[in-house]
Amino acid sequence: MSHPLADYVRILARGKNGSRSMTFEEARFTMQHMLSGDALPEQIGAIFMLMRVKEESPEELAGFAAAINELWPENLNADLIWPSYAGKRRQPFWCFLSMVLLQQMGYRILVHGTEAHTAGRLYLHEVFSAFGLEHLSEAQQFNTSTGLAYLPCSAINPGLQQWLGLKSVLGVRSPINTVMKTIAPAGIPSVQGVFHPGYAPVHAQAAAINQRECVVIKGEGGEFEVNPERTCKAQLCISGELSELSIANKTSHYEDKFSEPTIDALKQVWRGESADDYALEAILNTAALALCIIKRNNDVDANRLAAEQAWSERNKESLG
């Protein structure tokens, strides 16, 4: 008797002329079996690499995400979901200060991410630990948290972190790296950062299929963080409608910007001990885009002004 997933591997593996992308339902069924532990390692590797070669369709991405989204608890008290899976190797985590700023504005932000899968990168869970911020063992704990907490993806399902670690075995990232950036509970918007700009429309289309609201950008290093040396184009999905907005860069190069992902830099900039124009633009523009999806609007200029006001009034002593 053949394995239940054998026919689904065959969809992707019939050769140049016979293969096709999975439908939404086929992709959801496949991921449900993978999450249950029913899939064999050979099947998981084959599915991931076959999809990697052809690139994920919006329907496949949405189907995989829909299966994972079934694991979220109901009635999660959050205003924004913030995935973090790429890590940093060139710039500090300026988007972390955007999160802290939004928390001080009264918004509740649940971050989910990886416990690391690529050598030489700083990951956001390390930043949270350095500042003594909450790490959750299950998503439901966020309802009684301070409003900014980190949830490792292994707490959603242990297989997710294991699959992210396959990069060291397979030599390349797999579709799970893409999928994890798109998951969010129903009714809670998310931000999503991609490394390759061509993926942004696919993420937005997948969100529309799943009736999720999000804003997607080509972020610095693949994280959701505006690079102020480049014009930032954002894809939005709000109430099922897709749109795009841009934030123009003021300059193509900032002198004396930080060039390593140090945690001390975050402390210095937050406390006002270091004036860094690159950092400030990254923090405020990232916060402005997050506010666009929290408020379900595309008025990035008004949201930037709100972020600037909050920055001027921030509690500089809140990060120890």
Q: How far apart are the first and last CA of the chain?
A: 60
Contact between 257 and 278 under an 8 Å Cβ cutoff? The reply is yes
Q: How far is CA 45 from CA 28, 164, 175, 198, in A?
A: 17, 12, 11, 24
Contact between 249 and 231 under an 8 Å Cβ cutoff? The reply is yes
> Does domain 80-312 match CATH 3.40.1030.10?
yes
The two structure tokens encoding residue 172: 């390349």
| Residue with the two structure tokens 């710039």 | 91
Q: What is the pLDDT of residue 226?
A: 98
DSSP letter, residue 181: G
Q: How far apart are CA 169 and CA 302, in angstroms?
A: 46
pTM of structure: 0.96
Q: What is the H or E stretch that residue 309 is in?
A: helix 300-312
Mean pLDDT by groups of 10 residues along the chain of 320 residues: 87 89 97 95 94 94 98 97 96 98 98 86 96 97 97 97 89 91 98 93 96 98 97 97 95 90 96 93 98 97 98 93
CA 316 to chain centre: 27
Contact between 87 and 116 under an 8 Å Cβ cutoff? The reply is yes
The two structure tokens encoding residue 103: 């928390």
Q: Could you give phi then psi for residue 216, rounded to 5 degrees?
A: -125, 135
Contact between 254 and 307 under an 8 Å Cβ cutoff? The reply is no
Q: What is the pLDDT of residue 1?
A: 66
Q: Count of residues for the chain?
A: 320
For residues 236-248, one letter each, b for 16 or more C-beta atoms within 10 angstroms of the residue's C-beta and e for the rest, the string is bbbeeeeeebebe
The two structure tokens encoding residue 166: 């396959």
